[in-house]
Chain A
């Protein structure tokens, strides 16, 4: 019982984790990406299309990554070069891309809402013969797909890159002190755009996991607000890959829990509010800490 639960939780966590890591990197670079939902959606659709068309999972993942990356770059350019408000642009992208996706499905394929082409190749799952018998641990480690592995590997890799490489250092500087970065001769806007491309790509892959990793088709509601849950996760994580992963795992856990607990008196929708409540609690907590430090008063 527990095993099935944990296995499902891992599965549900993957798209949130991928997107959250991307969003975290983007935020470290100075852009709060509200449009991740649109990038997940595009990735989900691209993966299904290419997988059905070519029969190749690798091609499908590449397409999903590219779709997300392109949207990420487009959004970032509007914010950095046209000085547009990132929140509204993000919301606008969500609306426009959702409409565009449905529009294309109707125009190109004549389908409304669900796109289920024949020949979709799913992500393979990898079992480890001995390990999978081990309780708990086996359920977590065995039977997962490559994107899940990739997502979890990205946690230490991101931490490593952020603190041990040039690009990581410059990214951290860009998000916190744009003028300083410019003063030392770097190009902060380019760095920020690059972080958006990364975020878009990760979100695209997350979308691919939702479509060809779990359900095998595309549905217009497939992302289900996970872009915003990922936002909750990286706000919770506040720039630390490990904490962000913890948040994503927590929310994945809640997601599965509320499905299981349905009919046992705990309403699903209220469980769904938990990520958002946690973000508010974290922000308010930080606010209290700030005020305690300086009695200067705020406007």
Chain B
């Protein structure tokens, strides 16, 4: 369905370049502080992919990124530059955590879908405002969704420090969710949980949706050329609105899965920027399902390897962040010509 943009080789090379460049920057930092970059990188690859247990850890780390990447991609593909997935992640996580202990007596079969569903809905509703501001008033969605992130983090922070604080808990956390709310583990004793399968399935579903459905084609056309789309009769505002809401739904779901599957409660600050990393994943993966999956696994590998190498070497875990940030920066750099929507200054 999609026109071939460039030969596959170049697309892969273009996607790999930011990683290569980031690796160079990381190597420079490591060398400057007395470490051997190659040794460190080799250790990281081993830690990420060496053996079943480690792969499971990598996939666990990739789980939230699959959906935050998807949330960003589904919006970007339609031409709407939503950076608010982080906020939806927080809101969704809190909603799922609260339902998880409030509805403790409910059976799993009902409790889990309800919690996930409610979290998704909250995420979706949260982004209606900026979506309408864009379609009715032409207000740039980048700044509005960026602001909403901080507002969401502050609101959940207030709730978890106040009304929803677990009694007797020193840090800002909710009560743990009921056992029936937990997503089952796939490979004990690793922490890999059903959420990984759900997230991967959703990404795959997106891949099918974008290729096989009329709505998928419509969304792509709007992203490529909204003026053309309007002229042929496509309802552009409705498409933008629905894609933005879908993006929020997925962002909320991502937070819920993270809570129900891994952390089992909501804690203030429980996302180390998953939403923003998701943006980088979507950009690197060119908004495609395969790209998102690969990107999520790579970033998950980075984060999981970083966590363990600091046990075996004196390399601080922050090397991961440095690499992540560098990849984000180079992911959007165009070495040559290209078209990309930037934020509009007034």
Contacts and interface: CB of A to CB of B under 8 A. Distances in A.
Interface of A: 27, 30-32, 34, 78, 82-89, 91-100, 102-104, 106-108, 175, 225, 228, 232, 235, 238-239, 267-270, 272-273, 276-277, 279-280, 283-284, 286-288, 290-291, 298-299
Contacts of B283: 85, 88
Given A83-B334, A92-B329, A108-B33, A273 B321 contact: no
Interface string B32-70: 011000000000000000000000000000000000000
Shortest Cβ-Cβ A-B pairs, 9 listed: A96-B325, A99-B321, A287-B137, A92-B328, A95-B325, A269-B158, A92-B329, A82-B333, A103-B318
Of residues B33, B147, B280, which shows the largest number of chain A Cβ atoms within 10 Å of its Cβ?
B147
Interface in B189-237: 226-227, 230, 236-237
Given A83-B338, A83-B340, A97-B325, 6 more contacts: A88-B280, A98-B325, A269-B158, A283-B143, A287-B133, A291-B137
Interface stretch (B93-101, B119-127, B149-157): B149-157
B135 interface: yes
Interface string B125-146: 0000100010111111011101
A277 B130 CA distance: 12
Given A95-B321, A291-B137, A286 B346 contact: yes
B177 to A, nearest CB: 23
A94 B140 contact: no
Interface string B308-333: 00000010101111101111110111
Nearest to A75: B329
Contact of B144 (A30, A268, A280): A280
Given A88-B331, A93-B325, A279-B143, A298 B135 contact: yes
A252 to B, nearest CB: 17
Main secondary structure of the interface of A (DSSP, over half): helix
A77 B31 CA distance: 25
Nearest to B226: A299
A102 B322 CA distance: 10
A78 B316 CA distance: 27
A86 B276 contact: no
A98 B318 CA distance: 8
Contacts of A273: 150-151, 154-155
B83 interface: yes
Given A94-B325, A99-B324, A280-B147, A299 B236 contact: yes
Nearest to A268: B158
13 contacts: A32-B343, A83-B333, A83-B334, A85-B283, A85-B341, A92-B329, A95-B321, A269-B155, A276-B151, A280-B148, A283-B139, A283-B143, A286-B346
B29 A100 contact: yes
B345 interface: yes
A99 B338 contact: no
A286 B346 CA distance: 10
Contacts of B327: 92
Given A99-B322, A100-B318, A290 B276 contact: no
A173 to B, nearest CB: 13
B135 to A, nearest CB: 7
Nearest to A95: B325
A239 B33 contact: no
B342 A95 contact: no
B142 A87 contact: yes
A30 B129 CA distance: 26
A254 to B, nearest CB: 12
B162 interface: yes
A254 B140 CA distance: 27
Interface string B289-323: 00000000000000000000000001010111110
Nearest to B153: A269
Given A269-B157, A284-B133, A99 B318 contact: yes
A89 B151 CA distance: 22
Given A99-B318, A103-B319, A232-B147, A85 B332 contact: yes
A31 B150 CA distance: 21
A291 B136 contact: yes
Contacts of B151: 273, 276-277
Contacts of B259: none
A117 B343 CA distance: 41
A99 B133 CA distance: 35
A290 B137 contact: yes
B150 A228 contact: yes
Contact of B335 (A82, A104, A107, A175): A82
Contact of A107 (B147, B279, B316, B320): B316
B127 to A, nearest CB: 13
Contacts of A102: 316, 318, 321
A272 B162 CA distance: 15
B273 interface: yes
